[in-house]
Amino acid sequence: MDRIAKAIFDSRYSIHDLSRCTGEGPENFARLNMPIELGIAMGRKFAGAEHDWLILVPDLGGFRKFASNLSAYDPAEHKGTVDSVIQAIMPWLCIREGASRNVNPAKVLDMFPSFVTAKGDLAKSWGKPPWPRLIAAARDIGLAAG
């Protein structure tokens, strides 16, 4: 929790995918990590900090049934695929302060295989790569693509 809270407090933006908030497995347990992390981000903003978030959901209709008070924050719907998640995130991300105007969903999708390869290379060296290394790999791929 400390690492997650620090990441949220050190960031101006965060993205929270609520697609795994349904019961799974024989015990029918729901994963509540993302709602907890969203709560940290919301608390940060409501306490007066500059922080903005995007909520991702797999089904807007179902979402409105279990978290209707969050509808005012315009959650973005996705289909659980890489391309649908990127297409859900990019319109929100491209209008944030400091966003690159040269990036679009198609360009990100073109760069994604390079990131998957870089992430695999890092995993060979590290097992579970440190988050800053993953961020640096993504940044390097983006810079190389122009």
- Split at pLDDT 50, 70, 90, the class of 92 is very high
Is 8 in a helix, a strand, or coil? Answer: helix
The verdict on 95 and 115 lying in the same domain is no
Of residues 99 and 85, the one with the higher pLDDT is 85
The verdict on 71 and 56 lying in the same domain is yes
- Split at pLDDT 50, 70, 90, the class of 88 is very high
Task: Please write down the HEC assignment for all residues of 26-84.
Answer: CCCEECCHHHHHHHHHHHHHHCCCCCEEEEEECCHHHHHHHCHHHHHHCCEECCCCHHH
- Residue 84 pLDDT > 70: yes
Quote the CA–CA distance of 93 and 41 in Å, as a whole number.
Answer: 16
Q: What local confidence, expressed as pLDDT, does residue 71 receive?
A: 78
Q: Among residues 39, 40, 20, which one has the least CA distance to residue 30?
A: 20
- Residue 24 pLDDT > 80: no
111 is in which domain, residue-wise? 103-146
- Residue 60 pLDDT > 70: no
Mean of pLDDT over the chain: 88
The verdict on 79 and 110 lying in the same domain is no
Confidence (pTM): 0.80
Q: Are 55 and 18 in contact (CB under 8 A)?
A: yes
How many distinct structural domains can be found in the chain? 2
- Residue 28 pLDDT > 80: no
Q: What local confidence, expressed as pLDDT, does residue 40 receive?
A: 95
The verdict on 93 and 43 lying in the same domain is yes
Query: What residue type is assigned to position 96 of the chain?
Result: R
Q: Among residues 68, 104, 105, 78, which one has the least CA distance to residue 15?
A: 78
